[in-house]
Amino acid sequence: MNLVIDSANVEAIKNLNEFLPIDGVTTNPSIIVKEKGDFLPLLKEIRNIIGEEKELFVQTISKKAEEIVEEARYICTTITGSILVKVPVTLEGIKAIKMLQEEGIRTLATTVYTPMSALMAAKAGAEYVAPYVNRIDNLTGNGTQVVSDIVDIFSSQNLPCKVLAASFKNVQQIQDVFLSGAHGVTAPPDLMKEIFHHPSVERDVEKFREEWLNQYGVGSNSLMSTK
């Protein structure tokens, strides 16, 4: 199960990487533009934060397969560590995924809305596909069901491609796609933090602490202080 941050905000990534078992970071052109800085220094800073082993996903912007491949080569020779190139599932994109697979460049097929486009990307050599759960829901579809269908197809066809579900509006959607068999999710920092937000947790922690202090005194604010 992969837990991937969908952001290019350095401070948010640094914070989540410190506290959570993060497996990597996904970016796209919109996310990078939002940070209002030069994209290469930004990507290199993210790499420094997460280390060389964790996966960093970088998306191409070209439309033609050959140009996508050129961008992918540039990304992989400029940014160190574990890199995956994100390629949209257009006809040209599928062609590019095939070409990149032959060169040994790892890819994630993005903008996935249907199980069949995910299947084509997987057969072309994509290592991951990223179905857009909430965007599918907004189009009167069922994003969780699409994730489940993709997982079933990959399993029945013995395809090694993994489902990294994307596009969420709440934690329930994240839970649902994991229950549907997704191999991982990529979500923005605010949703990552919402996973832990439950009023009962803070209430229980405070109750435990209050009862302890009542018994052992205000100076016993740690287990070691009661020796």
Which residues are known to be catalytic?
86
Q: Which of 210, 154, 158 is nearest to 183 (CA)?
A: 154
DSSP states of 69-130: HHHHHHHHHHS-SSEEEEEE-SHHHHHHHHHHHHHT--EEEEEE-SHHHHHHHHHHT-SEEE
Burial (CB count within 10 angstroms: exposed 0-12, middle 13-18, buried 19+), residue 41 = exposed
> Closest by alpha carbon to 55, among 5, 122, 129?
5
Count of beta carbons in the 10 Å neighbourhood of residue 12 = 16
Number of CB atoms found within 10 A of residue 185's CB? 26
CA-to-CA separations, 174 to 71, 80, 120, in angstroms, rounded: 31, 30, 24
What's phi and psi for 8, nearest 5 deg?
Answer: -120, 15
158: which DSSP letter?
Answer: T
